[in-house]
Amino acid sequence: MARARAIRVLSWNVNGLRACARKGFRAWLRGARAEIVGLQEVRASPGDLPADLRSPKGWHTHFACAERRGYSGVGLFSRREPDRVETALGIERFDVEGRFQVARFGRLALVNAYFPKGSGKNRDNSRVPYKLDFYRAVFERLQCLRRGGYRVLILGDFNTAHREIDLARPVDNRKTSGFLPEERAELDRWMQAGWVDSFRRFEPGPGHYSWWSQRFGVRERNIGWRIDCVLASRAAAKFVRGAFICPEVRGSDHCPVGVDIDPAIFG
């Protein structure tokens, strides 16, 4: 019996969907061959978006928006209609920033999350406690989904490079939010609880990044960070056939990342 064609799931921090659309987002979406796409940092409410971004033909779309205009926000584009979509953690200080979605497709629970930066307005690390609290709140929600029998994928911008191999200049960034010991320790806790970094399951080598500073020449020299990921619960990991990063895709300071999954994950 022929093996069923894998289903592609993609994640992309677009750094403003309207801005990304001016740089080719529509063409990318048409050609991506994806079944599900999670976007982060949409920075717009559905009413702010033109119809072909708000609800492209052939896609079901769902958005979670921040109360503050032009800030944060996540969006989900899916070829198949989810059984249910939730857009809140039930904690007001997180929900007002529009950082979380969970969509159920049969036995798959797919979470799209935009984890906060730890740096504050003054380029300090004042938001690290908020960031870590958000991590813990999402972790508890995911554990509930796992206990409920769901196969769980969480994708998004985690805003943390887990290991030294995940950024080009680890020594220079030990005191920078995104690579602080306490941030990395939180991801250690996730891995110890059974979460699988899908990309590292297939690619152990260096030089693979998903975000680059917008300073001149940085991306061309590949001085980046791998902070965009797809994590899989143990139950979901056995359905992941491959994982990848798409550094050739422009339009944002991040690039898309994704996984190919066995369609049996839904059943």
Whether 48 is catalytic is no
Contact 114/13 with Cβ under 8 angstroms?
Answer: yes
Residue 1 lies in a domain: no
Question: Is residue 155 in a domain?
Answer: yes
> Tell me, what DSSP letter sits at residue 5?
P
235 within a domain of the structure (yes/no): yes
Cβ-in-10-Å burial (0-12, 13-18, 19+) of 246 comes to: middle
Q: Which CATH number does the domain housing residue 85 bear?
A: 3.60.10.10
Cα gap 81→144, rounded to integer Å: 23
Q: How many domains does the chain have?
A: 1
Q: Which domain holds residue 255?
A: 7-266
In-domain check, residue 2: no
Q: Is residue 140, in this structure, part of any structural domain at all?
A: yes
**Cα 76 to Cα 59, 100, 127, 191, distances in angstroms:** 9, 10, 26, 25
Residue 229 lies in a domain: yes
pLDDT of residue 1: 57
Burial-class residue 147 by CB neighbours within 10 Å (0-12, 13-18, 19+): exposed
From 116, 166, 161, 151, select the one nearest 137 (Cα to Cα).
116
Q: Is residue 36 part of a domain?
A: yes
Does some domain include residue 196? yes
**What is the model's pLDDT at position 3?**
80
Reference 72, options 123, 130, 129, 140; nearest CA is 130
Kindly name the residue from 48, 95, 133, 157 that is annotated as catalytic.
157
The per-residue pLDDT string of the chain (267 residues; one tens digit each, 9 = 90 and over) reads 568 899 999 999 999 999 999 999 999 999 999 999 999 999 999 999 999 999 999 999 999 999 999 999 999 999 999 999 999 999 999 999 999 999 999 999 999 999 999 998 877 899 999 999 999 999 999 999 999 999 999 999 999 999 999 999 999 999 999 999 999 999 999 999 999 999 999 999 999 999 999 999 999 999 999 999 999 999 999 999 999 999 999 999 999 999 999 999 999
Q: Enter the DSSP assignment of 20.
A: H
Tens-place pLDDT, residues 146-165: 999 999 999 999 999 999 99
Quick one: pLDDT at residue 2? 66
